[in-house]
Amino acid sequence: MRTSSTNSIMIGIAICDLIILYENVYERVQSYWFYGSQNPCMNKSNYWYTYSLLIGDFLLTSFERASFWLGVFLAFTRFVIMKKAGIELNISKPLFGCLLVLVLVCLSSAHSAYYYGGYSIDPWGTWTPKEMCTGYPANYSEPTFYRNFADNENLSKIFRRYQVIDGVSRILVSIFYPILAILLIFKIRKSAKFVSKALNSKSSEERLRTCRLILVMTIFYVIASAPSGVSEYVQFFVDIKSSSILALLVGYGSILLFCLNASSHGIINFTMSSKYRQTVKKFLGMEKQRQGNMVLVSIAAPVQREECCLVLDFGKKVHDFLSVFIVFIDRTSEKPTLKSLPFMFAPVFNTLCSCHSLQKSAERVLDPLDESCHEFDSEELSHLREIFEAVDDCGDLASRLRRHKNHHDLEKLPVGYCKTRWMTFVNCTQDIIEMFPKIDRIENAFIEKYCEKIRPKLPNLITTMQILKVYEKPLKVLEETHMRIHEVAPWLFKLRAYFEEQEKKGIQDRDYTKSTVSKSACISLNHYISKTISDPHLLASLLCPGMRSLSLFPQTYKDKALKLLKEELELIKLEPKDQEIAEFDNLTKDLYDAPPPAPSASSELQDYQTSIFSNSDIVAPPIEFWHKHENRFPRLAKVAGSVFCTLSSESICERAFSALNRVFRNDRQSLEPEMVEILMVSYLYLNSST
């Protein structure tokens, strides 16, 4: 249960209640069954019993007061967490709950120590057994003790101060707790209305049931704390005799109310908290396999084989993410497949999305990064800025045409430019270029103004779009729901080689736009190659049988990939296999050679690099190749499993959300926990093997 601050506080309340109940049971058992009996052969005032009663009173008052205030802070913490939903708060961490329990117990103990610390156990007299008592030696005696307050002169003042603070504490609990509970109930009811609209009435009913249980807990807290707090003040004005009915009500009534309150916590927490129920069932051995555990069951084997990875979707920080998927190789069917499941709500991600890198690289061709501007001269930067402004003008013109589509006689509308959608600036500009003759004939002052600005720049725009359209093919390929991690680095290197060639042609043909834009594309790609290509990309390309020569790779990357693979192979320890052929009987197996031992890491790598494979092996998904040749290349197959479980792009996970049209908001920016929960659960049932 130690997963959040509220659970930690609930554990703290349970510990306090158990200590109080244990002290009450101990005192009653001792006073009624042992020392309370009329037994003249027992010393009722011995040292350890008197000392244990003093310690018991100290623990009782300390943990009772702490329990009340922990209930108040439990309501406060829940309210703050729900109020700031979607934001990472330290108050929601388990450590906060543990520290809060520790601080409140220490403060409450300090208050009790102020009064009980003044007591000492002093000798009072001598106890001797009666003549009827047997088993004692002659002239046997024991000292008797009593509880003595060291500063008797100030005892009345100290006790009065103690009572005032204790009474104020209890009354404040009975005031603060209902206020916080009411605020929390309103917040939960608001959440229930949202859930009932977004999903179904079952989730809403669960939250409404939580409201009712919080209300019940509030009533119990007020009943348990308010009367005892008021009674502290009653004793200032009314002389209560020890044997009176009022004394019985004040003394035993407060204990009874607290016991009822403490007993209700277990029932209420069991009803409210799924973690609490799960812990109780696990403790009692009643826990059964739940549907939610199916995800853990399905990924257990891939995790053990190191054939899975975590993919963060939408953001890189705790307060700016939507989901985390686990992507793994599923070997339960005839052929291994790549599968993804929603897994957790924590950003664990170290491989950049290739599609995002390509998109950013394309966008930075006309708008270079500040750190790359030193590689251009002033004339080149000025020329890129002119083309960039012309592309912006095309975007504004397309937006105007789309808004007033009913006023213009156009066969089709240009693509709208959207920064969050890949390559729309290229497609938008391309449409404006193709439709420009018709757009130029529209009689509208606004459109005519933009046509005047775009017309002289059309040749440069046409050349630029021809260059940037090259990005479109790898973007479409890498966002497919297939195993593409091995193609990321080759595509980036191929694009760079293409742009280098275009730059040379531009210089030869004296086409300044082609040479400048191609140069900028090379510089942009160099930046994102250094940011994007990681160890998994290099290993994946080398472990693809159709790419193992790494012909498109620069020599430094070839050497790095080979070094990485050798290091990985050295780390793998193969389990010994049975060398006998199970299919043959003892007589027949002697006719055949024993299976050869597993090859060494170096010979296995050399065999893979020099072997000739069939076309079907080359074009098949790499993981199918390694599944087929696992016995021949046992170490390489293990490395391949841990590499090819990585996605080339997070688009696979992103599209899973887009399929949930009924619950997914149009702005795609909702971070409310209920919405995230709905999406994750829905995708869990919609997911299919890819």
- The enclosing domain of 99 has a CATH number of 1.20.1070.10
Please check whether residues 573 and 519 belong to one and the same domain.
no
pLDDT at 348: 36
Per residue in 13-28, pLDDT tens? Answer: 888 888 888 887 888 7
**Helix, strand, coil distribution of the chain in percent, nearest 5:** 65, 5, 30
pLDDT at 215: 61
Please check whether residues 301 and 325 belong to one and the same domain.
yes
Mean pLDDT is lowest, of 200-204, 263-267, 350-354, 536-540, for 200-204
- Orientation angle between helical segments 555-571 and 535-542, nearest 10 degrees: 90
Last residue of a domain, one of 478, 499, 533: 533
- List 310's β-bridge partners, or say none: 326
Per residue in 363-413, pLDDT tens? Answer: 889 889 888 889 999 999 999 999 999 998 998 888 888 888 777 778 888
Closest CA to 388 of 298, 507, 517: 517
Question: What is the average per-residue pLDDT within 64-78?
Answer: 84
Mean pLDDT is lowest, of 203-207, 250-254, 598-602, for 203-207
Per residue in 476-533, pLDDT tens? Answer: 888 776 778 888 899 999 999 999 999 999 999 999 999 999 999 999 999 989 888 8
Assess whether pLDDT exceeds 50 at residue 98: yes
pLDDT at 577: 62
Please check whether residues 527 and 596 belong to one and the same domain.
no
Please check whether residues 668 and 604 belong to one and the same domain.
yes
Mean pLDDT is lowest, of 19-23, 100-104, 212-216, 422-426, for 212-216
**Phi, psi at 132, each rounded to 5°:** -75, -15
pLDDT > 70: percent of the chain: 68
Q: What CA–CA distance (Å, rounded) separates 371 from 530? A: 14
Please check whether residues 468 and 417 belong to one and the same domain.
yes
pLDDT band at 292 (very low <50, low <70, confident <90, very high): very low
Name the helix (H) or strand (E) containing 126. strand 119-127
Last residue of a domain, one of 474, 500, 533: 533
Report the chain's mean pLDDT, rounded to a whole number: 76
Is residue 631 a contact partner of residue 495, using CB atoms and an 8 Å limit? Answer: no
Question: What is the average per-residue pLDDT within 137-155?
Answer: 82
Closest CA to 356 of 526, 466, 471, 464: 471
pLDDT at 512: 94
Q: Does 146 map to a domain?
A: no
Query: For residue 127, what are the domain limits?
Result: 5-134+166-283
Contacts of 292 (CB under 8 A, 6+ apart): none
3-state secondary structure 368-391: CCHHHHHHCCHHHHHHHHHHHHHH
Please check whether residues 646 and 670 belong to one and the same domain.
yes
Q: Does 390 map to a domain?
A: yes
- According to DSSP, residue 31 is labeled I
pLDDT at 565: 92
Name the helix (H) or strand (E) containing 234. helix 201-237
Closest CA to 498 of 539, 469, 475, 527: 469
Assess whether pLDDT exceeds 60 at residue 671: no
Q: Does 589 map to a domain?
A: yes
Q: Which residue has the higher pLDDT, 286 or 47?
A: 47
Please check whether residues 317 and 375 belong to one and the same domain.
no
Q: What CA–CA distance (Å, rounded) separates 467 from 458? A: 14
Q: Reduce the DSSP state of residue 285 to 3 states and report it.
A: coil
Please check whether residues 340 and 382 belong to one and the same domain.
no
Number of folded domains in the chain? Answer: 3
Q: Does 151 map to a domain?
A: no
Q: Which residue has the higher pLDDT, 111 or 246?
A: 111
Please check whether residues 340 and 213 belong to one and the same domain.
no
Q: Does 389 map to a domain?
A: yes
Q: Reduce the DSSP state of residue 357 to 3 states and report it.
A: helix
Q: Does 141 map to a domain?
A: no
Please check whether residues 384 and 501 belong to one and the same domain.
yes
Question: What is the average per-residue pLDDT within 112-135?
Answer: 85
Please check whether residues 324 and 374 belong to one and the same domain.
no
Taking the alpha carbons at both ends of the chain, their separation in whole angstroms is: 36
pLDDT at 140: 85
Q: Does 161 map to a domain?
A: no
Last residue of a domain, one of 283, 307, 341: 283
Token output for 606: 């050399």
Is residue 256 a contact partner of residue 224, using CB atoms and an 8 Å limit? Answer: no
pLDDT band at 572 (very low <50, low <70, confident <90, very high): confident
Closest CA to 327 of 119, 184, 482, 506: 482
Is residue 410 a contact partner of residue 437, using CB atoms and an 8 Å limit? Answer: no
Q: What CA–CA distance (Å, rounded) separates 512 from 506? A: 6
Q: What is the pTM of this model?
A: 0.51
- According to DSSP, residue 598 is labeled P
Q: Does 145 map to a domain?
A: no
Q: What CA–CA distance (Å, rounded) separates 543 from 643? A: 9
Please check whether residues 433 and 421 belong to one and the same domain.
yes
